[in-house]
Amino acid sequence: MIDWPGLTLDENAEVFYYFSMNTDELRSKYIEFFISKAHAQIQGKSLLPDNDPTVLFTTAGMHPLVPYLLGEEHPAGKRLVDYQKCIRTGDIDSVGDASHLTFFEMLGNWSLGDYFKEGAIEMSFEFLTSPQWLGIPLEKLGITVFEGDQTVPRDEESAVVWRRLGIPADRISYRPRSDNWWGPAGTTGPCGPDSEMFIDMGKEPCGPDCAPGCSCGKWLEIWNDVFMQYNKTAEGVYEPLARICVDTGMGIERTVTILNNKKSVYDTEIFTPIIGAVEKAAAYTYGVDPEKDRSVRIISDHVRAATFVLGDPKAVSPSNVGAGYVLRRLIRRAVRHGRKLGIAGLVLSPLARVIIDQLKGPYPELVENQGYIIAELDKEEGKFLETLQKGEHEFEKLLPSLLKDPRKTMSGRLAFKLYDTYGFPLELTQELAAEQGFTINRAEFDEAFKKHQELSRSGGEQIFKGGLGDQGEMAVKYHTATHLLHKALRMVLGDHVAQKGSNITAERMRFDFSHSAPLGADELERVQAIVNEQIRRDLPVTMAMMSLDDAKASGAIALFGEKYEFQVKVYTIGDFSKEVCGGPHVEHTGAMGAFKIQKEQSSSAGVRRIRAVLE
Ligand code: SER
């Protein structure tokens, strides 16, 4: 038996070939294989999705294909293959660890009403194990299939095919919906049970229950075959798809890391040129200091993602909303970590050039948009550096009086002022203070921050007025209803809808939101039905504390300016809504009663007002 993955070139040069596969080879082999199986290669699509208000970025290879999975004819036929650029911002907080990425490429093949479980699994098996393709030894493969629940039966069909192909029964693991169900890219869309393929990394099992799908590190997933059978509607109902389809997805970066037996994606040829450039700029050697390594990884990942967002045919520029906000956050976080590494001058655009050069083959748009990418990176970085300089300057002005303090503590209120007035991040004030041998009174900072937050909530923005003042039972119910209504409006009218204010009494709620035209009767009806469906589903309402940046990255709707960076409450209502808010809320939506819209009217220019009751 081949001792893989501990294999080296000297021990077995022949097999090594398959396991030193780089991204270009993997991409071409995959496409070539599926073309040989009568698939048509289609172009990957924009990173900024068309007509999907539920997500900011294309999150998976199947995402642009949703209309076809839902029944539309695809001009290229029933069997398709492609590679697709993707961004998942849900993972942004984990970036910096050794495995998470913001930007990644996904390979995928699709059957639109053509082959189903058997065909998909046979092809997956052949591509993975045949020496002509990946040549992964059979004994290194593990499989998971859906174990079934009240709504969908156990996926014995897939298990049978895997066993017939030679996977031993003890390496086929039945897993619950939380593992083996592919949900829609947004909140609605095609979905179904899936069968996932894993590589055994050769580690000892973590216990008697350790099987494919176990997260201990023994089994790493490389591919996912999804058997699309349902469409999840806005009302949360699973309706059968007009025609059953297959959606498969293989993450390129992940697979290359595993096939090359690297500890981390950052040790592969995908990242070594970028990291090399960071090392040079920072005069630092990656691998020496864990804290610095984390910064190197954050910069490398974020610049890669920013380069692709800016290089997209539908590029946005850094801003304070939507995809532009994520882009701004990626850039600023990278700049901050560049400074941490002591890089002087522009950090990002030289790295973008490395990335463009690396990926211009599969993504020629990067070359076409190179001028724009570089200019926007330089501009945003410049702007942020100015903010930082202003903050530093203000800090220096404070220094003489600070130095007189025998306790060596800087007041939290002063730190808050730097943050509030100049947008100077607390962690940088902390850094400057540390250089002078000071600490910052964090409790005081948090208090000033909280006070300010409350003031801005009950004051200028008029948000949650009533909700905060009146915490009677009905007001609390109406408060939860504003979140449901907010999300429902965004689903029906689009992502431009933002809450402009609300007013709650024990008898009714009023909700103001940005939208330029009166709502039609059908739109109002749909909004009302969506809210009532969530009440009927009796969704749990949960709260978590996090920074506003993290809240936004997790997809929460936030109403405040980006400078309120520290601990906010995020209320999550089942799988339906996530919003930054002070609370309070009901614990379960089922307790709210029936939601009824009484009136819709103009409130001011570009702002509509809905009056509604809970009966
Ligand atoms: N949609 C599935 C995934 O992203 C398979 O493509 O894993």
pLDDT for residue 446: 87
Closest ligand 1 atom to the C-alpha of 61? Answer: 6
Clarify whether residues 441 and 550 are in a common domain.
no
Task: Please determine, for residue 239, whether its predicted confidence score (pLDDT) is greater than 60.
Answer: yes
- pLDDT-derived band of residue 184, with 50, 70 and 90 as boundaries? low
Q: Which residues of 228-250 are buried (b: 16+ CB within 10 A; e: fewer)?
A: bbbbbebebeeeebebbbbbbbb
Q: 556 or 409, which is more confident?
A: 409
Task: Please determine, for residue 16, whether its predicted confidence score (pLDDT) is greater than 80.
Answer: no
For the record, the structure tokens of 26 come out as 């993997």
Task: Please determine, for residue 4, whether its predicted confidence score (pLDDT) is greater than 50.
Answer: no
Clarify whether residues 313 and 372 are in a common domain.
yes
Task: Please determine, for residue 439, whether its predicted confidence score (pLDDT) is greater than 60.
Answer: yes
* Ligand 1 centroid from CA 359, angstroms: 22
Clarify whether residues 453 and 509 are in a common domain.
no
* Ligand 1 centroid from CA 244, angstroms: 16
Task: Please identify which residue in the block is written with the tokens 């962690």.
Answer: 427
Q: 389 or 305, which is more confident?
A: 305
Testing ligand 1's pocket by substitution, the residue of 248, 252, 253, 255 carrying the most ligand atoms inside 8 A of its CB is: 248
* Ligand 1 centroid from CA 254, angstroms: 13
- Specify the range with the lowest mean pLDDT, choosing from 279-283, 392-396, 549-553: 549-553
Q: Residue 51 and residue 136: Cα distance in Å, rounded?
A: 39
Clarify whether residues 263 and 122 are in a common domain.
yes
Q: Residue 144 and residue 214: Cα distance in Å, rounded?
A: 10
| CA neighbor of 107 nearest in space, from 62, 140, 68, 64 | 62
Partners of 504 in beta bridges: 509
Beta strands across the sheet bearing 499-504? 499-504, 509-514, 607-614, 595-604
pLDDT for residue 213: 94
pLDDT for residue 591: 84
Q: Residue 244 and residue 114: Cα distance in Å, rounded?
A: 8
pLDDT for residue 10: 35
**What is the secondary structure of 361-417 as a DSSP string?**
TT-THHHHTHHHHHHHHHHHHHHHHHHHHHHHHHHHHHHHHHHT-TT-EE-HHHHHH
**What is the secondary structure of 89-156 as a DSSP string?**
GGGGGGBTBSS--SEEEEEEEEEESS--HHHHHHHHHHHHH-TTTT---GGGEEEEEE---SSS---H
| CA neighbor of 221 nearest in space, from 186, 173, 162 | 173
Task: Please determine, for residue 451, whether its predicted confidence score (pLDDT) is greater than 60.
Answer: yes
14 in any annotated domain: no
pLDDT for residue 90: 65
| CA neighbor of 607 nearest in space, from 519, 480, 482 | 519
To which H or E segment does residue 488 belong?
A: helix 473-493
Clarify whether residues 604 and 496 are in a common domain.
yes
DSSP code at position 514: E
From 267, 282, 301, give the residue that closes a domain.
267
- pLDDT-derived band of residue 404, with 50, 70 and 90 as boundaries? confident
* Ligand 1 centroid from CA 131, angstroms: 25
Q: Is 251 in the pocket of ligand 1 (CB under 6 A)?
A: no
Indicate the SS3 state at residue 516.
Answer: coil
Clarify whether residues 522 and 409 are in a common domain.
no
Q: Is 95 in the pocket of ligand 1 (CB under 6 A)?
A: no
Q: Give 288's contacts (C-beta < 8 A, 6+ positions apart).
A: none
| 150 phi-psi bin (left φ>0, alpha ψ -120 to 50, beta other) | alpha
Q: Is 535 in the pocket of ligand 1 (CB under 6 A)?
A: no
* Ligand 1 centroid from CA 106, angstroms: 8
8 A C-beta contact, residue 89 and residue 50: no
pLDDT in tens, 504-532: 777 889 998 989 899 999 999 999 999 99
Give the Cβ contact number of residue 429 at 10 Å: 27
pLDDT for residue 464: 26
pLDDT for residue 93: 62
506 in any annotated domain: yes
Amino acid symbol at 249: G
Clarify whether residues 30 and 173 are in a common domain.
yes
Q: 531 or 569, which is more confident?
A: 531
Q: 37 or 424, which is more confident?
A: 37
Q: Residue 211 and residue 144: Cα distance in Å, rounded?
A: 9
- Average pLDDT over every residue of 370-379: 96
Clarify whether residues 422 and 287 are in a common domain.
yes
pLDDT for residue 577: 92
Indicate the SS3 state at residue 291.
Answer: helix
* Ligand 1 centroid from CA 185, angstroms: 9
1 in any annotated domain: no
From 404, 423, 457, give the residue that closes a domain.
457
- For the chain, the average pLDDT equals 86
Q: Is 64 in the pocket of ligand 1 (CB under 6 A)?
A: no
Task: Please determine, for residue 411, whether its predicted confidence score (pLDDT) is greater than 50.
Answer: yes
pLDDT for residue 465: 30
Residue with the smallest CA separation from ligand 1 atom 6 is 249
* Ligand 1 centroid from CA 213, angstroms: 16
Percent of the chain with pLDDT over 70: 89
Between strands 499-504 and 509-514, the pairing is antiparallel
CA angle in degrees (0–180, nearest 5) for 509-515-516: 130
- Average pLDDT over every residue of 155-177: 96
Q: Is 249 in the pocket of ligand 1 (CB under 6 A)?
A: yes
Clarify whether residues 161 and 28 are in a common domain.
yes
10 in any annotated domain: no
Containing domain of residue 347, as a range?
Answer: 272-457
Give the Cβ contact number of residue 445 at 10 Å: 23
* Ligand 1 centroid from CA 103, angstroms: 15
8 A C-beta contact, residue 119 and residue 104: no
Give the number of domains in the chain: 3
- Average pLDDT over every residue of 54-83: 90
* Ligand 1 centroid from CA 60, angstroms: 6
Clarify whether residues 225 and 84 are in a common domain.
yes
Percent of the chain with pLDDT over 90: 50
Q: Residue 410 and residue 402: Cα distance in Å, rounded?
A: 7
Name the burial class of residue 63, with classes exposed (0-12), middle (13-18) and buried (19+) by CB atoms within 10 angstroms of its CB. Answer: buried
* Ligand 1 centroid from CA 87, angstroms: 13
51 in any annotated domain: yes
88 in any annotated domain: yes
Q: Is 108 in the pocket of ligand 1 (CB under 6 A)?
A: yes
* Ligand 1 centroid from CA 487, angstroms: 25
To which H or E segment does residue 340 belong?
A: helix 322-340
Residue with the smallest CA separation from ligand 1 atom 2 is 249
* Ligand 1 centroid from CA 44, angstroms: 15
Testing ligand 1's pocket by substitution, the residue of 247, 250, 254 carrying the most ligand atoms inside 8 A of its CB is: 247
pLDDT for residue 186: 56
From 267, 290, 318, give the residue that closes a domain.
267
- Average pLDDT over every residue of 155-163: 97
pLDDT in tens, 95-122: 788 778 999 999 999 999 999 999 999 9
Task: Please identify which residue in the block is written with the tokens 């002591």.
Answer: 342
- Specify the range with the lowest mean pLDDT, choosing from 122-131, 147-156, 269-278: 147-156
Task: Please determine, for residue 563, whether its predicted confidence score (pLDDT) is greater than 60.
Answer: no
Clarify whether residues 453 and 480 are in a common domain.
no
Task: Please determine, for residue 34, whether its predicted confidence score (pLDDT) is greater than 90.
Answer: yes
Task: Please determine, for residue 564, whether its predicted confidence score (pLDDT) is greater than 50.
Answer: no
Partners of 440 in beta bridges: 410
Clarify whether residues 218 and 73 are in a common domain.
yes
13 in any annotated domain: no
Testing ligand 1's pocket by substitution, the residue of 55, 107, 224, 250 carrying the most ligand atoms inside 8 A of its CB is: 224
Query: pTM for this structure?
Result: 0.69
Alpha carbon separation from 154 to 91, 145, 180 (Å, rounded): 30, 8, 11
Q: Is 190 in the pocket of ligand 1 (CB under 6 A)?
A: no
| CA neighbor of 581 nearest in space, from 425, 459, 454, 419 | 454
599 in any annotated domain: yes
Testing ligand 1's pocket by substitution, the residue of 84, 226, 229, 255 carrying the most ligand atoms inside 8 A of its CB is: 226
- CATH (domain of 479): 3.30.980.10
Q: 175 or 398, which is more confident?
A: 175
For the record, the structure tokens of 574 come out as 């089942």
Q: Is 248 in the pocket of ligand 1 (CB under 6 A)?
A: yes
pLDDT for residue 79: 98
- pLDDT-derived band of residue 466, with 50, 70 and 90 as boundaries? very low
Closest ligand 1 atom to the C-alpha of 225? Answer: 5
Q: Residue 123 and residue 473: Cα distance in Å, rounded?
A: 57
